[in-house]
Structure 1
């Protein structure tokens, strides 16, 4: 299993991060807000743990959505 980690930056809006967490990771609004706050205050937050191919696809989707909106939002994978 691989953890998908989302990294804080100074440009991506909190609202966009919440939208991505809800759309890509199927988080509830409350859970998405909690993860977003972890990212904002701690610099990183875990979006979930998935098999490699699913995790890789989710990271690619986040990067694609961020590029479309002009945000530098980044995710990375970490093996559990």
Structure 2
């Protein structure tokens, strides 16, 4: 992580790094450039990143009567990286049941791929729709 690596780098030795920061009440806060300062922000950001990575979401495709089946299969293969037979199976399931499970991804990846799929469908004038739901 960029912030963590910046905060943990060794300080440049200079007279500016040796002065004390003071709180409003006059007590010393920390020595600027002190290498063993406990950066709580860095720890918090690492925890947030791990939580987001662990949060998995299901991508669901919804049937419509306009989008061609070939286009749906192409989107499932190119954007969601399904194999040809998997993509055809998902498309058929959505066609006959109204919706179908596509895949499970971390939240940010699910949002990104759904956004790409919606964008590609809109460019072609199709109402193809995907949603995401918690695992």
Determine if the TM-score, normalized by the shorter chain, exceeds 0.5. Answer: yes
Unmatched 5+ residue regions in structure 2? 1-55
Please give the alpha-carbon distance, in whole angstroms, between the structure 2 residues aligned to 1:7 and 1:28: 19
Q: SS of 2:79's equivalent?
A: helix
Deviation of 1:40 after TM superposition, in Å, equals: 0.3
Unmatched 5+ residue regions in structure 1? none
- Structure number with larger C-alpha Rg: 2
Equivalent position of 1:12 in the other structure: 67
Please give the alpha-carbon distance, in whole angstroms, between the structure 2 residues aligned to 1:31 and 1:52: 22
> Which structure carries more relative contact order (alpha carbon 8 Å, separation 6+)?
1
* Structure with more helix by fraction: 1
* Structure 1 segment 1-80 matched on structure 2, within 5 A: 1-80=56-135
TM-score (norm 1): 0.97
Deviation of 1:74 after TM superposition, in Å, equals: 0.6
Q: How many residues align?
A: 80
Deviations 1:23-76 (A, max 9, x none): 001111111100000010011011100010000001100100000110000100
TM-score (norm 2): 0.58
Equivalent position of 2:30 in the other structure: none
Runs of 4+ aligned structure 1 residues displaced above 4 Å come to: none
